[in-house]
Amino acid sequence: DAGVTQSPTHLIKTRGQQVTLRCSPISGHKSVSWYQQVLGQGPQFIFQYYEKEERGRGNFPDRFSARQFPNYSSELNVNALLLGDSALYLCASSLTGDEGEKLFFGSGTQLSVL
What is the Cα–Cα distance from 86 to 5, expressed in whole angstroms? 20
Write down the least CB distance from residue 108 to other proteins, Å. 6
What is the Cα–Cα distance from 103 to 10, expressed in whole angstroms? 23
What is the Cα–Cα distance from 1 to 4, expressed in whole angstroms? 10
Write down the least CB distance from residue 79 to other proteins, Å. 23
Write down the least CB distance from residue 71 to other proteins, Å. 20
What is the Cα–Cα distance from 74 to 106, expressed in whole angstroms? 13
Write down the least CB distance from residue 80 to other proteins, Å. 25
Residue placing its CB nearer to other proteins in the complex, 55 or 67:
55
The neighbour count for residue 38, using CB atoms within 10 Å, is 13
Residue placing its CB nearer to other proteins in the complex, 44 or 86:
44
Residue placing its CB nearer to other proteins in the complex, 35 or 85:
35
Site residues for other proteins per CB under 8 A: 4, 31, 33, 35, 40-45, 48, 50, 55-56, 58, 90, 92, 94, 97-103, 105-108
Residue placing its CB nearer to other proteins in the complex, 66 or 90:
90
**What's 48's DSSP letter?**
E
Torsion of CA 74, 106, 11, 67, to 10 degrees: 10
